[in-house]
Amino acid sequence: MIKCKLTKDAAVISVSPALYPIDAIYGASYVFIDRAYIFLDGDEKKNINIYIKSKKKSSSSALRSLVGEFQNELLNYSFRDKINKSNRKVREGIIERALAVFGPQEILNEQDSGDYLKDPLGIAIPWEEKHAKPKAK
């Protein structure tokens, strides 16, 4: 359930994170940051309070409308979150198999041929130089 309290120029929406995941709250908030100031508080596990303040001076009906839109967007993002979670593995599998043919290209091998001259692993340094004990003076 979404509880909503309206003041003169701001609103507070209280939601249960069990029903509206935190990622959905972030997602919906992101969509509104051009039109409103959003502030979050509360307990991530029990109840999250979303403070919404319109950037422009607006009437109470305009504020209600903004809050209504936000609540709809919250529902949208919650559904998106559900879709993503239920399909993630299959989707990742499809993409992995689809792109597997585009493996390392010749161009990367040619880049490596340039890098070896810098000898990042010190392979070209003779063993004696690396490990020989200094001669006694």
Choose one: 29-37, 56-64, 116-124, 128-136; the region binding other proteins (CB under 8 A). Answer: 29-37
Distance, CA of 33 to CA of 19 (rounded, Å): 23
Q: Which is nearer to other proteins, 27 or 58 (CB)?
A: 27
CA distances from 107 to 57, 96, 111, 113, 118 (A): 57, 21, 6, 10, 18
Q: Which is nearer to other proteins, 38 or 66 (CB)?
A: 38
Beta strands in 7-136 (DSSP E): 10-15, 36-43, 47-54
> Does 124 participate in binding other proteins (rule CB under 8 A)?
no
CA angle (43 as vertex; 35, 13 as ends), nearest 5: 35
User: Which residues ranging from 66 to 85 are in contact with other proteins (CB under 8 A)?
Assistant: 76-77, 79-80, 82-83
- Residues 38 and 32: beta-carbon distance below 8 Å: yes
Residues that bind other proteins in the complex, under the rule CB under 8 A: 22-23, 26-27, 29-31, 33-34, 37-45, 48, 53, 76-77, 79-80, 82-83, 86-87, 90-91, 93-95, 97-99, 101-102, 105-107, 110-111, 114
